[in-house]
Chain A
Amino acid sequence: EVQLVESGGALVQPGGSLRLSCAASGITFSLYNMNWVRQAPGKGLEWVSYISDSSSTIYYADSVKGRFTISRDNAKDSLYLQMNSLRDEDTAIYYCARDMIQVLITGLKHHNAMDLWGQGTTVTVSS
């Protein structure tokens, strides 16, 4: 089955750390660029971070830059988000999502569009 499954969410105190994981199955994970997106309770979606298929390119939202680190292990079909110096405002559901690949006669075309999402994992930052 094609799916992404997040794990690692927990209740953590402000200033603490947490590592989220996203396990991919049913896809050739190493081909896909990946993202983390979060959603605070009752709020909209916020893109958090992006990593390219080979880990050569990484981007962060300004709100997490310097505190969060995205990484991946293609041998383990897994994506990670190391979250340090957590703040109350980091409380959210965290989703991993892959960027779409279109298969053309000429080859693969990468699109900056998140077409497969996990079910999310909940991070609560509170004392």
Chain B
Amino acid sequence: DIQMTQSPSSLSASVGERVIITCRASQTVTTHLNWFQQKPGKAPKLLIYATSSLVVGVPSRFSGSGSATDFTLTITSLQPEDFATYYCQQTYTTLRTFGQGTKVDMK
């Protein structure tokens, strides 16, 4: 199975800050990499698919990049509604796997 490792596991940031979350795969997933946001008590929400494609309705401050084994999710100017946990997920293999999550909280 492909293992997905996110870093950091948690971070504290202020409104307006730029936030970068990284996701590393144990082997190549080409560009089959998605990002989700989850708030407490809620279902996950798809933000970005296929590494860099923004879901309709997701603010443009979110962006994704990378390929093969190394990927990043960037939030250019953190907003109050962005405090949440973020997960990457590979869909290159039939056994889709998530990263362990990165919790973004308020500094």
> Could you list which residues of chain A lie within 8 angstroms of chain B, going by C-beta atoms?
35, 37, 44-47, 50, 59, 61-62, 95, 97, 100, 111-115, 117-120
Contact = CB atoms under 8 A, between A and B. Distances in A.
Chain B binding surface SS class: loop
Contact of B49 (A47, A95, A113, A117): A113
Chain A binding surface SS class: strand
B87 A50 contact: no
A113 B91 contact: yes
Question: Quick one: which of A35, A97, A118 has the most chain B CB within 10 A?
Answer: A97
A95 B98 CA distance: 14
Interface residues of B, number: 23
A21 to B, nearest CB: 16
15 contacts: A35-B96, A44-B98, A44-B99, A44-B101, A45-B36, A45-B89, A47-B96, A50-B96, A59-B95, A62-B1, A97-B43, A112-B91, A112-B96, A113-B34, A118-B43
Question: Quick one: which of A46, A50, A113, A114 has the most chain B CB within 10 A?
Answer: A113
Interface of B: 1, 32, 34, 36, 38, 43-46, 49-50, 55, 87, 89, 91, 94-101
Contacts of A61: 95
A87 B98 CA distance: 22
B98 A45 contact: yes
Contacts of A114: 34, 36, 44, 46
B97 A47 contact: yes
A59 B94 contact: yes
A47 B89 contact: yes
B50 A111 contact: yes
A95 B95 contact: no
Contacts of B49: 100, 111, 113, 115
Nearest to A100: B49
Contact of A44 (B46, B50, B95, B100): B100
Given A44-B87, A45-B87, A47-B89, A115 B95 contact: no
